[in-house]
Each structure stands twice: as structure tokens, then as C-alpha cells.
Amino acid sequence: MASNATDYIKHHLTFWNSDPSAGFWSLHVDTFSISLVLGFLFAGVFAMVARRASIEAPGRLQLFVEMIVEMVQTQVREVFHGKSKMIAPLALTIFCWVFLMNFMDLFPVDLFPMIAQWIGYAFFGMEPHHVYFRVVPSADVNATFAMSLSVLILIVGFSIKAKGLGGWGKELLTAPFHSSNPIGAIILAPLNFAFQLVELAAKPISLSLRLFGNLYAGELIFILIALLPWGLQWVLGAPWAIFHILIITLQAFVFMMLTIVYLSLAVEAH
């Protein structure tokens, strides 16, 4: 419905805001709804496979799920040095959920926005040009930053559980620079605390921006390809889609691995 390429790109990069006038407090309905549906899809498929699991005659879906679970368990055993029954399910959830969110980038860029425009016009009388719907949650920095903040909360929680509140507080003031002299320790405490805050802040920022940047760039490239003539769309779109499969898988794996590494560091003494 766009009159030119600029309007087309802007339309595809605009979120469905619950209340545009609310500014910071508005909700990206498309990001939230797609993430929720994909989360239920992941949980539902894995629960179904678990209930129907068969040792004698496993199906292809069961073998596929078992392959993913085994891969995640292997990474957890090799990277996480503490003891926690939560890490493997958490890593599995992160990998599968982020992968599904990334995978939405492989659908045709006009498919879901056109469906949303048709529903908005047919049932609510909305002008198609004013209907926005983005289907790649991981291309929304709000979603990636929310996930990384959840990881930060887990980092702090695991640190306190492993070292105690006093031990964690002591670490904030005595690492990375140590001093056996009490006066030196007091002098270094503010510097250590500042470094610890920077390290804690850098972890969610790096997690969120890495995932967001890669998926936003991929989404933008698909939008630019969609502006080309139909023949060129296939010539350029197919190779990019094949290459993008590697990107979406790698980014899900990196997000999972960094989470495991950060949680492993959180339970180790410094």
C-alpha cells in the first residue's frame, strides 16, 4: 500500500503500538503476541514429544527433539561448572525460543503484514496503510533487551545463591583488584565496585544488541530485496535466505552459550 520505496520500508519497520501516545510505556503488540505464540508452540511440541516418547520405535520428530536436547546438555556439561538442575532446561528454552523468533525472518516480508491489513480492514474498518505488523520479535530491541535483563537477574540470583548475600557483596568490593592491606582494600573498593557494575551492565547490553543487530540487518535486507523486480527477488532472495538460516541458528546458539558462560562465572569464586 506504500506509494514509494521509502514509505514501504518505513511501514515494514514500524511496530504495532498499543498506545503510540504513551511513548516509552506503549506495548509492541506484534512483538509480544508473536513471542507468546512461539513460546507456546515450543512448549507444546516438546511436551507432546515427551508424552509420546517411545524407546522401541521413536519417530522423526522425537529423534529431532532428542538431538537438540542432547546438544544442549553437552554444552551445559562442558561449560557450566556448578550444579543446577535449572541450567539445561533454561539453555534449551533460550535456544529453541530465540531460534523460532529468528526463523520468522524467513517468511515473505509482505505475508503477515498483508494478512494483518486484511483483518484490520475487513473486521475493524481500518485503513490498510495504518495497520502495522512486524513478525520478527528478535529484531525488536525491546524484546532482546528484556531477555537479556532476565539473564542479568539470573546472574545476580545464582551469584547470591552460590556465595551468599555477604559473599556476593564482598566480591563486588574486592574484585578484580585485591589487596591484603586493609587500607589498600578500602581505597580499591570504589574502583572494584565501579568495574563490577560496568561488567554487569555490559553482559545484558552485549547479549541484546548482538541478537538485535544481526536480525534487524537481516530483516532490512529482505525488505530491500522485496523492492526489486520479481525475477531478481528470487535470484538474490534465495541465496540470502539459505545463508540467513546459518545466521538465525548461530545467533540462537550464541545467546544460549553466553548465558551458560555468564551463569557459570556467577557461581565461581573470584
Q: Using CA atoms in the order 180, 177, 153, 25, what is the torsion angle rounded to 10 degrees?
A: 130
Known catalytic residues? Answer: 206, 210, 214
Cα distance between residue 157 and residue 121, in whole Å: 47
Angle between the N-to-C axes of helices 60-79 and 87-103, in degrees from 0 to 180, rounded to the nearest 10:
120
What cell numbers appear for 11 in the block?
511501514
Rg of the Cα atoms in the chain: 23
Tell me, rounded to whole angstroms, the distance of Cα 249 from its chain centroid.
12
Please answer whether residues 92 and 69 qualify as being in contact, where contact means their C-beta atoms are separated by less than 8 angstroms: yes
